[in-house]
Amino acid sequence: MREYNINLDAKKMPDAWYNIMPDMPTPMVPPLHPGTLQPCGPQDLAAIFPMPLIEQEVSMQPMISIPGEVMDIYRLWRPTPLRRAYRLEQALGTPAKIFYKNESVSPAGSHKLNTSVPQAYYNKISGVNELSTETGAGQWGTALSIACAMFDMKCTVYMVGVSFQQKPYRRSMIEAFGAKVISSPSQTTEIGRKLAAEYPDSGGSLGIAISEAVEVAVTSGGTTKYSLGSVLNHVLLHQTIIGEEAKLQLESVGEYPDVIIGCCGGGSNYAGISFPFAPDKIKGGKNIDFIAAEPAACPTITRGTYAYDFGDTGQMTPLLKQYTLGHNFMPPGIHAGGLRYHGVATQVAHLVHEGVMRAVAYQQNPCFEAALIFARSEGIIPAPESSHAIRAAIDEALKCKESGETKTILFSLSGHGHFDMTAYDAYLSGKLEDYELEQDVLNKGIASIPNLG
């Protein structure tokens, strides 16, 4: 009998997150205050984040305990299944073994609830009752609205304009959990009005929506804090539960991955699946191929510059050392809205720069092709974002078919695509466009990267 599902006993769910900081191969450079160009201290972040999250942001503790209240909510859907994709392997005719961690089973439909729950919790215990945030595809807005509902908090979500149009039901879902949704750029913030005038036909971007949500927190006089769904160290930290569980699940069937893959927007689900395995390569000498899969229409790591840049278009965040396409880069309106971000997590950037990890970029048509091969063999419609990871996993499996290698491939299925059927319609009717980004378009974005001299 085939064991498709490798389940983890609920009692064995890890009760601490893994912090990669002490295991980094070389020290990381700190975020800088854009005014003084000095390293940001906790006080610089206190206007927008509560202290427990700021402490996690800079922590050098190897493991950080998950609070009991958060564990209780995690148990609503965790541990998530690890599945051996026998049927996909068969469809491809590959000797490779393919495993995927199914984060689509969360009530939000994606991995994002892994961090929205602790973020809401730490704000709540710090006396904050209201959060503001941005959302691209709507996944993060959904996850934060669920978490806020659970902790009885208010929530305002700035939703990237193009997704607001493309994904009306994502918006309804966020509203069903009691949050307020505003299309971005909006007229409700100073920075929104300014950027709407500057980029009239952009359809918005994550960079703009972040600026709006940050402004709301900064100008609230402390009643509202800001919450980010990716990029920051504490967000990546919360996502490591994915890889920690996957490691235990693989161990239980005597397997260890040769290749680990995640789609990469800000880098949180990719970090979640990969970081708990990273010390085995950095210190343990294991030969693991870590692959971040990004869209060719927003090729942050594969074509960006490694430099200090803002996390948002309105230049409100600290300067972060990262791969960046420039904080005013406006990505084309591809359907993987969650991957339309000009930058990437500094921790992921650092590991790529140090040669521990690598990135690949794909156009959307080959990703949807991979998504349907996966859907028709595994029975799950993946999120357009996740389809980038599936494309990379299929390509690695096909390489094994050529070479005869029996590699073990692990990837993160970051979410399902039930709210993305417009995108599938476009693909199935042959109307989905690939975007070949010209170098001069990229150069314009890259010109906005601050020159620190």
Scan residues 325-344 and list those touching ligand PLP (CB under 6 A).
338-339
State the Cα–Cα distance between residues 49 and 43, nearest whole angstrom: 10
State the Cα–Cα distance between residues 268 and 270, nearest whole angstrom: 5
- CB of 101 or CB of 112, closer to ligand PLP: 112
The single residue among 147, 150, 153, 264 that binds ligand PLP, judged by CB under 6 A, is: 264
Structure token digits, residue 210:
């972040």
Classify the C-alpha dihedral 289-103-117-9 as positive or negative: negative
C-beta of 147: minimal distance to ligand PLP in Å?
A: 14
- CB of 123 or CB of 268, closer to ligand PLP: 268
C-beta of 375: minimal distance to ligand PLP in Å?
A: 15
| Residue 299 found at the interface with ligand PLP (CB under 6 A) | no
Q: Of 117-125, 253-261, 264-272, 280-288, which part binds ligand PLP (CB under 6 A)? A: 264-272
Amino acid at 304: G
The single residue among 141, 203, 265, 295 that binds ligand PLP, judged by CB under 6 A, is: 265
| Residue 230 found at the interface with ligand PLP (CB under 6 A) | yes
Scan residues 128-167 and list those touching ligand PLP (CB under 6 A).
137, 139-140
- CB of 195 or CB of 390, closer to ligand PLP: 390
C-beta of 304: minimal distance to ligand PLP in Å?
A: 14
C-beta of 343: minimal distance to ligand PLP in Å?
A: 11
Helix 51-58 to helix 233-252 angle, to the nearest 10 degrees?
Answer: 70
- Which ranges of 105-261 would DSSP assign to H, the alpha helix? 113-125, 139-150, 161-166, 168-176, 190-198, 206-218, 233-252
Q: Of 73-81, 94-102, 126-134, 268-276, which part binds ligand PLP (CB under 6 A)? A: 268-276
Structure token digits, residue 176:
């069903």
Scan residues 407-446 and list those touching ligand PLP (CB under 6 A).
414-415
Scan residues 358-417 and list those touching ligand PLP (CB under 6 A).
383, 385-386, 414-415
The single residue among 205, 269, 322, 324 that binds ligand PLP, judged by CB under 6 A, is: 269
- CB of 202 or CB of 412, closer to ligand PLP: 412
- CB of 84 or CB of 112, closer to ligand PLP: 112
Contact 382, 371 (CB under 8 A): yes
C-beta of 331: minimal distance to ligand PLP in Å?
A: 13
Strands (E), 305-401: 305-310, 319-324, 357-362
Q: How many CB atoms lie within 10 A of CB 289?
A: 15
C-beta of 28: minimal distance to ligand PLP in Å?
A: 18
In three-state secondary structure terms, 293 is strand
Q: H-helix or E-strand containing 373?
A: helix 364-378
C-beta of 103: minimal distance to ligand PLP in Å?
A: 8
| Residue 263 found at the interface with ligand PLP (CB under 6 A) | yes
Decide: residue 313, CB within 10 A, 0-12 exposed, 13-18 middle, 19+ buried: buried
C-beta of 112: minimal distance to ligand PLP in Å?
A: 5
Decide: residue 377, CB within 10 A, 0-12 exposed, 13-18 middle, 19+ buried: middle
Amino acid at 138: G
Half-sphere exposure of residue 216: CA atoms within 13 angstroms, side-chain side: 24
Q: H-helix or E-strand containing 132?
A: strand 130-135
- Which ranges of 253-316 would DSSP assign to H, the alpha helix? 268-274, 278-282, 300-303
The single residue among 267, 304, 331, 445 that binds ligand PLP, judged by CB under 6 A, is: 267
- CB of 347 or CB of 414, closer to ligand PLP: 414
Contact 134, 140 (CB under 8 A): yes
| Residue 268 found at the interface with ligand PLP (CB under 6 A) | yes
- CB of 94 or CB of 276, closer to ligand PLP: 276
State the Cα–Cα distance between residues 323 and 304, nearest whole angstrom: 5
State the Cα–Cα distance between residues 6 and 250, nearest whole angstrom: 8
Kindly state the number of chain residues that form the binding site for ligand PLP, as judged by CB under 6 A.
21
Structure token digits, residue 403:
């070479």
Q: Of 154-162, 262-270, 283-291, 439-447, which part binds ligand PLP (CB under 6 A)? A: 262-270
- Chain residues binding ligand PLP by CB under 6 A are 110, 112, 137, 139-140, 230, 263-270, 338-339, 383, 385-386, 414-415
